[in-house]
Chains A and B, each alone.
Chain A
Amino acid sequence: MNELTSKEKETNQPGFHTGDGDFHTEYTTLNLGPTHPATHGIFQNILTMDGEIVIDSEQTCGYIHRAFEKIAERRPYYQITTLTDRLNYCSSPINNMGWHMTVEKLIGVEIPKRAQYMRVIIMELARISDHLVCNAVIGVDTGALTGFTYLFQWREKIYEIFEHICGARLTTNIGRIGGLERDFDDEVYKKLKAFLADFPKAFDEFGRLMERNRIFFDRTAKTGPITAERALNYGFTGPNLRAAGVDYDVRVANPYSSYEDFDFTIPVGVDGDTYDRFMVRQAEIWESLKIIHQALDNMPSGKYFADVPEFYLPPKQDVYNNMEALIWHFKIVMGESDVPKGEVYHAVEGGNGELGFYLVSDGGRAPYRLHFRRPCFIFYQAYPEMIRGGMLSDAIVTLSSLNVIAGELDA
């Protein structure tokens, strides 16, 4: 046993032996973040550590706060879509569609079945890409980089489909109020078919690599658990709530965009731990594939946009050749279309849970008040409770399994 120097005794260094037969410990403060490779986003957690055990955590957020709710109060409705892109940027199409549907609910437009099915395909592709990122990253944080590098090429394929549909990849701004900007062309169907044919094989291999892997199981089972009761109290929604055993899914509870037409199940977990969250997302990817297959097989014919000339931009050749189309075009772009007064709440099942839009309209060109119910912001509060008493490395993997997206956290 080493004698401590008087200086070491004075400074009360943690972990040093004081010489009185007791290990004197003092809690260490560890800054996890704001920028840290293991946090996958800008989160700061000030951890109080006892050795390697997490005693408590204090979260700070707001590092990428961009005042979307304030900006939205000054923008015409169609320009707010680009703000929603940047909430959960791993599945922007779902946010875009959620916003379009909120406005459609406000102005009372029913869009054609074909457009609803097309939206379902786009949203489910986005859900797959969102869950792929999350599960691949859980793999990275447990030391399996293979799955990540392997699966990211499939996320790339999904982005190529988005690129063909709307011209953008990450922040998609996909669709319009009242439908979609254009019909799926042959190239989109070709890419979709290729994706549906090849992705299941690759994803099955990923599943076989991870799901029954002893090392992965030992690393993730029982880490960061939360009971169903606590999860509900903390406002969990989406895969994280379902991992705790509650079968709540907005697509089933309050179907939108024809989700009631599709046959799919809601996968649920038992313990609400990291392994269950991983498995729920794995199962949801298979369910999403099922939905896309059904939507493609039963794709109705008809138009891909509703008849709402005051919100849906007319085709460009009409704008140049037709006076009425030119007027509508001008009115839409200048934000002159009339909207009814009222307040509306619309929720969609985002990648991480219930993404809600609370919109108050006073009839003006911009919303009077727009509030985003951002699932990440709400369930991230539970993080200290989930990691308390666990190891630091478990805290990291719990964070990635919650799939907290900084853009959605900070709005």
Chain B
Amino acid sequence: MAGITNEFLIERLQSQFGDQILATEMPYGMVTIVIQPSAILDMLIWLNTDNLLKFKFLTDICGAHYPDLIDGELSVIYHVQSMENNVRLRIKTFIPITKPEIASVTSLYSSANWMERETYDFYGIIFTGHPNLTRILNVEEMDYFPMRKEYPLEDGTRRDKEDEYFGR
């Protein structure tokens, strides 16, 4: 496979979306960019149609909750992949929990449908433009988003597993 280098990928992304990219890093060899949430759909379309990069495969979408990041509590993480160049790219966005909205990419990738529903189901992130944004794995009557950090897994009064007891 021909392959493109991570540096080339970052450079090309910077030249196209310079002002939308907030941070660039490379943990464990995978290019990771943090972008403005408003740019996600444009960026994925550009990545898909670009003749050099050819990121035509959406590997995964998932959410994460960082309660300490003010106005960026909820994160949506996209993994895309260019099979031809054998390169993966991680795109992260941070959106406020008070207005958890981001554009849906279902118009571009059919696979995004359930991935976005799952992310909505667990984190309450609204994907605008999604054809059927309903719960998928949890019961429909559920009125909270269980993967958010304010919902402890076990009995909230249980203290024996807290980090401080392990020397942290």
Contacts and interface: CB of A to CB of B under 8 A. Distances in A.
Q: Is chain B a partner of chain A in the same complex?
A: yes
Interface of A: 61-62, 65, 67, 69-71, 73-74, 105-106, 230, 232-235, 246, 248, 253-254, 334-336, 342-345, 347, 354, 356, 358, 360, 364-365, 368-369, 371, 373, 377-382, 410-411
Given A74-B153, A248-B83, A232 B56 contact: yes
Given A74-B154, A336-B166, A345 B88 contact: yes
Contacts of A61: 136-137
A322 B81 CA distance: 48
Q: Is the interface of A mostly helix, strand, loop or mixed?
A: mixed
Q: Which among B60, B136, B153 has the greatest number of chain A C-beta atoms within 10 A?
A: B60
A377 B110 contact: no
A360 B114 contact: no
B86 A253 contact: yes
A121 to B, nearest CB: 26
Contacts of B77: 358, 371
Contacts of B137: 61-62, 65, 410-411
Interface in B154-168: 154, 161, 163, 166-168
Contacts of A230: 110
Nearest to A236: B111
Contact of B168 (A65, A358, A364): A364
A345 B138 contact: no
A358 B79 contact: yes
B5 to A, nearest CB: 16
- What 8 A-B pairs have minimum CB-CB distances, sorted nearest first? A235-B111, A62-B137, A371-B62, A65-B137, A373-B60, A74-B153, A369-B64, A344-B28
B161 A232 contact: no
Contact of B109 (A106, A233, A373): A233
Given A336-B166, A364-B168, A381-B110, A70 B146 contact: yes
B32 interface: yes
9 contacts: A62-B137, A106-B28, A233-B110, A235-B111, A235-B115, A345-B79, A347-B59, A358-B79, A371-B62
Contacts of A356: 59-60, 79
B20 interface: no
Contacts of B135: 62
B122 interface: yes
